[in-house]
Amino acid sequence: MRDVFTLITERVLRDSGGEPICAHVGDVQACAIKSHPMYQALREKVRLGRSKSVASLRLWESVCTLAREGGHQQREKWLMILLDLLTPYFGGWSKELARKWHYEVSDIRSAMVESVLEEWFSMTGGMPAKKLLDTMMNRAFAKARCLVEAGSSETCTTSTEHLISDAAHEEYSTLVASSIIDASTVQNPDADERIRGERIGALLQRMGAIEWAKTYHDKVRNGFRDEADAPSITPTQVGRSWVDGRNLYYRISDLLPQYIGFSEAANVVCLSESQASRMAKKGTLPFRVLWIGNSRVVLVRSLMHVLSIPDSIVHPDDVENGASHVGRE
């Protein structure tokens, strides 16, 4: 019978596409470790039950970070993986509970997944990954026991397909782009967009980094970027793509390294590595950590968020125009 556990696994296998998967930084090409397993092999090695291994806990921490800090599609993908890594520890117990209480096992499993998602979306601050894991499992078991002890087997009014479809979507506020002109005084959104892009281009020109940006622009214009990585655009922005129908917009973070070392990230927020390590154990570190083997790294986008640096969406033409203006000075 296809219950919610089966649907989660099917979704993850479909999203992974039979390709090697990187649970360190989310991108096989960007990872320092060159050997990556297929998802099925990765899942079989993870141990999150009572006999938790250090390697499994580190992988769990990275998956939690990727499910929080990636782009929209990446967050959805890694949240499904997070759920799928938990379901093996719910399978046997849910069957036994269903047999003992004469209850539908599919209803029990749906309740367990629902409780895990409730815990995930209610989580605030930097709860340590191990504590989050224990809390999720305890809440899932408690929800299942409450369900069967209620005395009647009631089927969830929401289908499991609907649950999985909606569960991975979060409401994230959009950062307001910085500008030397108050955005509220710019009546034309197109003008605001062009000013923003030209300011970024002028900054890159002065930093001597515009050639690197132009190399990325060529990649975008020639269609060598994965379109899943392209930011969503507004109806007014579609007009700039009318010639070939392609979305050339990108985020400033696309020009930056995907991650930096743990000690460098600590220095950025004025912490020593030892201070940052203690804070990570307590769950009070302002940014989240990824594990690559025995080394820790931090997503640049996570740091930008901590430092209130807007990850602005810009157009290559505006960036190059701004750089050109400065180049004539």
Region of residue 181 (phi > 0: left; psi between -120 and 50: alpha; otherwise: beta): beta
Locus of tokens 């039979």: 18
Query: Which contacts of 288-291 are long-range, i.e. CB under 8 A and separated by 24 or more positions?
Result: 288/64, 288/65, 288/68, 288/69, 288/126, 289/61, 289/62, 289/65, 289/262, 290/24, 290/25, 290/61, 290/62, 290/65, 290/66, 290/259, 291/24, 291/58, 291/59, 291/61, 291/62
DSSP conformation class of 304 = H
39: closest CA among 69, 1, 9? Answer: 9
**Residue stretches of the chain with pLDDT short of 50:** 153-184, 186
C-alpha to C-alpha distance for 153 and 101, rounded to whole angstroms: 9
Residue 120 phi, psi dihedral angles, 5° rounding: -60, -50
**pLDDT, position 149:** 83
For the chain, the first-to-last Cα distance in angstroms comes to 70
| High-pLDDT (> 90) share of the chain, % | 36
Digit-coded pLDDT (tens) for 174-222: 333 343 444 445 456 678 888 888 999 999 998 889 999 999 999 988 8
Q: Within the chain, where are the H helices?
A: 4-16, 39-45, 54-69, 72-86, 88-101, 105-122, 129-149, 160-167, 189-207, 210-221, 235-238, 262-268, 273-282, 300-306, 316-327
C-alpha to C-alpha distance for 240 and 243, rounded to whole angstroms: 8
Residues 6+ away with beta carbon under 8 Å from 264: none
Strand, helix or coil for residue 205: helix
**pLDDT, position 39:** 92
Query: Which contacts of 120-123 are long-range, i.e. CB under 8 A and separated by 24 or more positions?
Result: 120/67, 120/79, 120/82, 121/170
HSE-up (13 A, CA, CB side) for residue 32? 13
**pLDDT, position 11:** 92
CA-based angle 179:180:183, to the nearest 5?
50
**pLDDT, position 173:** 37
- Token pair in block for residue 255: 């020009």
| Bridge partner list, 290 | 297
**pLDDT, position 124:** 65
C-alpha to C-alpha distance for 310 and 256, rounded to whole angstroms: 13
Q: Which amino acid is at 276?
A: A
**pLDDT, position 174:** 38
C-alpha to C-alpha distance for 142 and 5, rounded to whole angstroms: 18
**pLDDT, position 232:** 78
> What is the Cα gyration radius of the chain?
23
